[in-house]
Amino acid sequence: MIVGLDVGGTNARGMLIDPDSLSIVGQERASSAGDGAVLVETLRGLVERLVGDEQPTAVGLGVAGLAQRSGTVRYSPNLPDLIEYPLGPALAEATGVPVATLNDASAVALAEARLGAGRGADDFVSITLGTGIGAGVVVDGSLAQGAFGFAGEVGHMVVEVEGPTHHTGQRGPWEYYASGSALGAQGRAAAAAGEFAAGVALAGSVDAITGFEVAEALRAGDDDAARIFDGFCRWVAVGCANLVMIMDPQRIVIGGGLSGIGQPLAGGVASWMPEVTLGSAHRPPVEIRMAELGDEAGALGAGLFALESLPAD
């Protein structure tokens, strides 16, 4: 049996996976609060609850942050107590089982590649639109982790060098414009200008509007929401076009917190792609698809990564 772990800023999710059928045969959750030692104990407990007396073959560990291939978390805005902490090796030590570590958005990409919306595409990019933007890049059927394991930090790609300063300190990174948080900010800006009454009604006040209220008003057919959302989709497409220039994916898969919007999101981004993609008349259109695996993709992908990257015994 394989265990996949997905460690986010609030929760850690564990999944028991049958290595032959790749089906999910157990799931557990725990809080991810605490420093490195506490988290290792939490994750060890999760593994134990999942496998009982059995020993898993391997553990895959997906972490929200810069997770080095070696298993050290170099930096994580969501897990500030983990900076420079060797989470993977410490968990291997605690469980006695090999641990393969990767970034959580890369884990999502691998799961979608093998079992979800990436199937049938050897070259694709999976992006997750939430608080920020994460991504996993699949090249010739394999996850591209990069030299150190940090590939896919596409939210920090600068698309407006002279743009506004993001909370990361960068000016004009893609996630300033195209994350789930950005959709909320664009809704608040419209509401503050008196152009999103439906959002104010749904959220209670201008300041309480998030991406979810924009999505809800969009679903309800509100024209203001449709306009806000169209502008947002253009920003998503602008960054996707950059990824297309650099990596030439056949497909881009959209997941994360905003994926509840569903097909209107994929359709909205797709509608902007020809306009923002240079030479679109001379290249096949890039498929824009919604992710298929939802919240389970991270832990599932971490497990698949362990299965694919650790030597079978």
Contact residues: a second copy, CB under 8 A: 66, 74-75, 83-84, 121-124, 135, 137, 139-140, 142, 144-154, 156-163, 168-170, 172-173, 238, 241-243, 245-251, 276, 278-279, 282-284
CA distances (Å), origin 110, targets 101, 143, 197? 13, 6, 41
Give the CA distances from residue 221 to residues 97, 116, 123, 172, 249, in Å, rounded to whole numbers and listed in that order: 52, 29, 35, 31, 33
Nearer to a second copy, 22 or 247 (CB): 247
Type and span of the H or E element at 129:
strand 124-129
What is the Cα 44 distance to its own chain's centre?
24
Which is closer to a second copy, CB of 156 or CB of 227?
Answer: 156
State the distance between the two ends of the chain, measured CA to CA, in whole angstroms: 12
Instruction: Name which of 152 and 255 has its Cβ closer to a second copy.
Output: 152
Integer-rounded Cα radius of gyration of the chain: 20
- Sign of dihedral through CA atoms 273, 278, 280, 285? negative
Q: Which residues contact 218 (CB under 8 A, 6 or more apart)?
A: 225, 226, 229, 261, 264
Q: Which C-beta is closer to a second copy: that of 159 or that of 310?
A: 159
Please, what is the minimum distance in Å from the beta carbon of residue 177 to a second copy? 8
Q: Return the ∠ at Cα 137 (arms to 133 and 143), rounded to 5°.
A: 130
Would you say 176 or 212 has its CB closer to a second copy?
176
Q: Give min distance, CB of 76 to a second copy, in A.
A: 9
Closest distance between a second copy and the C-beta of residue 166, in Å? 9
- Compare residues 85 and 212 and give the one whose CB is closer to a second copy: 85
Parallel/antiparallel/unpaired status of strands 24-31 and 11-17: antiparallel
Between residues 43 and 243, which has the closer beta carbon with respect to a second copy? 243
Query: Among residues 29, 22, 14, 27, which one has the least CA distance to residue 59?
Result: 14
Strands 287-290 and 2-7 come out as unpaired
